[in-house]
Amino acid sequence: MSGDAGGELDGRTALVTGGARGIGAAVVTRLARAGAHVSFTYRTSDADAAALADKLDAEGLSHDRARVDVTDVAAVDAWVNDVAGRRGTVDVVVNNAAAGRAAPMLHLTDPALLRESVDVNLLGTLNVVRASSTHLLLGGRGAIVSVTSIAGRVGVLGLASYGASKAGIEGMTRALAVEFGPRGVRVNAVAPGYTGGTAMVGEVPRATLDALVARTPLGRTATPEEVAEAVLFLVSERSAFVTGQTLVVDGGLTS
């Protein structure tokens, strides 16, 4: 299978960071099935990246992968320029690479843990957008989507730096929508709620997760594939007049 019949992203080149597992892997798969060539990065999960590549190969989907730390500016530049050089274009960028662990009260938290979320989530996203925007703007079209979190919109105990980094990405999204819009590039975000099959939710105690599900109007957690559908919508022509927005995918939890 080479993608959906009449794929929405036929002929497009997509970059996805943090694409080896969880939401990232679902996004990589969905964009590839929609017809895009997808280049995805990972930082430490070699086995997961290889397993995803095998799955994509089995479906005949176009892809490549690179081990890239998004906090390393030179590595990000090299990856983006390599893909653009080989493919001749960059059309879609999905910022999914993230770091975040629940911490004790802020005054007891190791400063290194605070920096990790900001460095990977916020500065890493800016590094990727900076490197890819030249190619997007030269093409005069394209879409950037960053995966944020409801933790950037409501207070979550123990996630002060993580929430701050995700809120920062939403601020960046609005600013860049204004900056890039006149050049034909749209910039949006997707804010998932608690999503099953992800490492972060896997660390949430069962009783806590059950309580959150009980407060969710749709009565369950999201799946990575449901988040990926939201990403596809925002990078496709179906959302051609949407920019500077955050699409919340949380089953109504924050409502």
42 catalytically annotated: no
**What 3-state DSSP class applies to 8?**
coil
Contact present, 58 and 33 (Cβ < 8 Å):
no
Can you tell me whether residue 33 is helix, strand or coil? helix
Helix or strand holding residue 48 (H, E): helix 46-58
Quote the tokens at residue 245: 């927005």
The Cα–Cα gap between 23 and 229 comes to 10
**What is the SS3 assignment for 57-115?**
HHCCCCEEEEECCCCCHHHHHHHHHHHHHHHCCCCEEEECCCCCCCCCCHHHCCHHHHH
Q: Which residue in the list 162, 177, 194, 253 is annotated as catalytic?
A: 162
Catalytic site residues? 162
